[in-house]
Every structure is written in C-alpha cells, then in structure tokens.
C-alpha cells in the first residue's frame, strides 16, 4: 500500500477516535474565550478532525505529485471524506448546532454520488474521480465543521460566524456538485431506461 493510501486509511481510523471523544460519558471541562464556553472535548475533536482533514489534502498532493494515483485511492479517498464529514455533521446536528435539513441535504447528496460511482464502475470499470466543484464542497464542509466545533472562537472577537457562513457555502456546493456529477455522467442511465 502506498503512502497516500495509508493516509486515507489513517483518516478512516481517526473517525472512531473522533466519535469516542464526543461520546465519552464523563463531564469535560470548558474553556471560556470571548464569553463563549468551549467544551474541552469539542476542542480535542476539532483537532482530531483537522488532522484527519489535513490527511485528505496531503494524500491527494502526494498521489498526484508522485504519480501514485490508484483505483483504491480514487474510491477510498472520497469515501473516507464522506465518513468523516457525515460523522461530524451528525454529531453537530445532535448538539443543535447544524440544522437537520442541512445535514439531510449533505447525506442525500453523498449517498446519491456513491450510488453514481457504483453505476459508473459497473458500466465502464472506471472510478469516478473527484471534480473541482466536489473538491470545493469538501474543503468548505471541512472548514465549516472545524470552526463549528470551535464555536467560531477564532473569529468571535469580530462577531463573524465563520463556521455558519462556510456551512452555507458547503450546502450550496453540495447541491451544485451533486447536480454537476449527475449531469456529466447521465449516460449511465440511458442504457436501462
């Protein structure tokens, strides 16, 4: 297994760690910054999420620069992203930070694109690689989630809800990239209809 694929697997391994940090049954202390109480486990979860997200950037950069792009990487990398992002969003929804409809839109899009990827592999044996709108979607989702777990503290002194703004951008690109993927790959539906 090459280094980019190892980083992808490492990202998947960090997901249960992230879950454990947010679900441990004991009371965590809080840090108060700019009159915002930030639970320590949210801070730790944000750091774990940031490390996992950074591996997404790193594995892609290494794979492209060293010509280590594999079908496993094309499949597992976006899957790892989806698992990480959806896990984080489900917790944020359960904490009443992210509206359920936003999480639902993102979940539906991710499941639909996963289904589309499967159809493309079955039809022509190729793995659907990530396109630019999908990369923007992933980037904005990951930064939104990071800042939401930090309760926007880095921008609190400005009164700017960076996490919320990025989440709206993420939802817009989630919808746009989903439509874009289906439109560009609509041929997979023409055979069976």
Separation between Cα atoms, residue 1 and residue 48, nearest integer Å? 23
| pLDDT for residue 130 | 67
Structure tokens at 7: 């980083």
DSSP 28: P
3-state DSSP percent of the chain in helix, strand and coil, to 5? 75, 5, 20
Residue of 41, 40, 44, 52 lying closest to 13 (CA atoms): 52
| pLDDT for residue 129 | 65
| pLDDT for residue 71 | 78
Q: Which residues of the chain have pLDDT under 70?
A: 25-27, 125-130, 191-193
Separation between Cα atoms, residue 84 and residue 89, nearest integer Å? 9
Domains of the chain: 3-190 (1.20.120.1760)
Distances (CA, A) of 182 to 14, 112, 116, 176: 30, 9, 7, 10
121-177 tens-digit pLDDT: 777 766 666 678 888 998 999 999 999 999 998 887 788 899 999 999 999 999 999
Q: Do 143 and 94 touch, CB atoms closer than 8 A?
A: no
In this prediction the pTM is: 0.88
| pLDDT for residue 1 | 85
């Amino acid at each position: 297994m090459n280094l980019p694929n190892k980083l992808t697997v490492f990202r998947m391994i960090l997901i249960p760690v992230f879950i454990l940090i947010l679900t441990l049954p004991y009371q965590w202390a809080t840090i108060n910054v700019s009159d915002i109480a930030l639970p320590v486990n949210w801070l730790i979860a944000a750091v774990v999420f940031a490390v996992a997200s950074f591996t997404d950037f790193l594995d892609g950069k290494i794979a492209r620069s060293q010509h280590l792009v594999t079908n496993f990487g094309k499949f597992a990398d976006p899957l790892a992203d989806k698992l990480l992002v959806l896990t984080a969003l489900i917790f944020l929804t359960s904490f009443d930070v992210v509206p359920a409809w936003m999480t639902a839109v993102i979940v539906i899009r991710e499941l639909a694109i996963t289904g589309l990827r499967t159809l493309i592999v079955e039809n022509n044996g190729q793995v659907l690689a990530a396109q630019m709108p999908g990369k923007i979607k992933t980037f904005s989702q990951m930064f939104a989630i990071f800042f939401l777990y930090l309760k926007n503290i880095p921008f609190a002194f400005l009164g700017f809800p960076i996490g919320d703004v990025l989440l709206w951008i993420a939802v817009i690109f989630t919808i746009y990239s989903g439509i874009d993927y289906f439109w560009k790959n609509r041929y997979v539906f023409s055979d069976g209809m």
